[in-house]
């Protein structure tokens, strides 16, 4: 049992009392969107951008949030003031709504939850090891609740002894199930896929940071480009910047956290704490 509070449709309640009717389309069909962001020392990280993406996802899924961004922001503030978790992760979700016919989007339900989630100020050296997997996420630019493939692939990952997978289509890589990928080429350009991905908020900030010192390109990246890269890393709200140490059993670069990834980590951590 948790002591966290949650919000369901503008009402604050203990999280273990928060519930939805079983005929909600998110339960019946997995139809819903969400966004996920952090607070560090009580400060919201990139809240405007997450709210913008949440409303974008809702509109692309033809769902009416039923409230303004300002109202959702007020609700988030209300939740934060009750939970009092300075370092946390907040999830805002909009469901397809209660649908007796099982397919018509009705009045979406809004759910906001918060968890304690500490920030790492150390450089992430552990990073990730990847196995490539041919798959294209449905509606990739929308942050839907569909993470079926990621969960379904757990035994594949265990068999390959990796910590994550890298999706690709005809050897053109897109992203990992919960993060974006970047490579540092041997001539020191920073390249990240542009198409068929979720445009991560961390990705955007890392591009901005990297542009100060490097040439950054958003364009196709192949599996071979990753294997041949000097360094590679993933970005996400949860992982920040984590080095990719290995892909399909081949070490990337020296197989350890590289200097450029470290530099970008340092700058991102500095900006998150400022």
| Contact flag: residue 60 with ligand PLP (CB under 6 A) | no
235 binds ligand PLP (CB under 6 A): yes
Q: Which of residues 161-180 bind ligand PLP (CB under 6 A)?
A: 175, 177-180
Specify whether the CB–CB gap between 196 and 216 falls below 8 A: no
Placement of tokens 């209300």 in the chain: 78
Residue 240 binds ligand PLP (CB under 6 A):
no
H-assigned helices in the chain? 25-29, 47-60, 69-83, 148-152, 154-160, 201-211, 223-228, 259-273
x/- site string to ligand PLP, residues 196 to 215, per CB under 6 A?
--x-xxxx------------
- Contact stretch for ligand PLP (CB under 6 A) within 5-13, 58-66, 209-217, 233-241: 233-241
Q: Are strands 189-192 and 179-184 parallel, antiparallel or unpaired?
A: antiparallel
Instruction: Return the DSSP state at 16.
Output: G
CA-nearest of 200, 211, 244 to 226 is 244
Which residue, 96 or 200, has its beta carbon nearer to ligand PLP?
A: 200
Among 236, 243, 261, 269, binds ligand PLP (CB under 6 A): 236
The site map against ligand PLP for 102-141 (x = CB under 6 A) is ----------------------------------------
Cβ contacts of residue 49 below 8 Å, gap of 6+?
201, 204
* Radius of gyration over every alpha carbon of the chain, rounded to an integer in angstroms: 19
Total site size for ligand PLP, rule CB under 6 A: 13
Interface segment toward ligand PLP; rule CB under 6 A; list 12-20, 110-118, 215-223, 234-242: 234-242
List of residues contacting ligand PLP (CB under 6 A): 175, 177-180, 198, 200-203, 235-237
């Amino acid at each position: 049992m948790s002591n966290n509070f949650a919000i369901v449709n503008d009402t604050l309640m203990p999280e273990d009392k928060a519930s939805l009717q079983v005929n909600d389309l998110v339960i019946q069909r997995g139809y819903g969107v969400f966004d996920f962001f952090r607070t560090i020392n009580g400060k919201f990280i990139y809240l405007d951008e997450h709210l913008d993406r949440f409303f974008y996802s809702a509109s692309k899924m033809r769902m009416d949030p039923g409230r303004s961004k300002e109202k959702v922001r007020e609700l988030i503030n209300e939740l934060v003031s009750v939970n009092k978790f300075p370092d946390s992760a907040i999830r805002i979700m909009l469901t397809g709504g209660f649908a007796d016919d099982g397919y018509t989007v009705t009045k979406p339900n809004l759910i906001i939850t918060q968890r304690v989630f500490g920030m790492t100020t150390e450089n992430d050296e552990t990073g990730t090891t990847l196995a490539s997997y041919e798959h294209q996420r449905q509606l990739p630019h929308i942050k839907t609740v569909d993470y079926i493939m990621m969960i379904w692939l757990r035994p594949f990952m265990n068999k390959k002894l990796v910590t994550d997978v890298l999706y690709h289509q005809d050897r053109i890589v897109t992203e990992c199930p919960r993060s974006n990928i970047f490579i540092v080429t041997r001539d020191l350009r920073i390249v990240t896929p542009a198409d068929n991905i979720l445009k991560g908020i961390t990705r955007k900030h890392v591009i901005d940071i990297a542009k100060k010192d490097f040439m950054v390109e958003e364009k196709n990246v192949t599996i071979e480009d990753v294997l041949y890269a000097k360094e590679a890393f993933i970005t996400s709200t949860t992982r920040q910047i984590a080095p990719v140490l290995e892909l399909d059993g081949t070490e990337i670069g020296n197989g350890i956290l590289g200097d450029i990834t470290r530099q970008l980590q340092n700058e991102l951590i500095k900006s998150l704490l400022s």
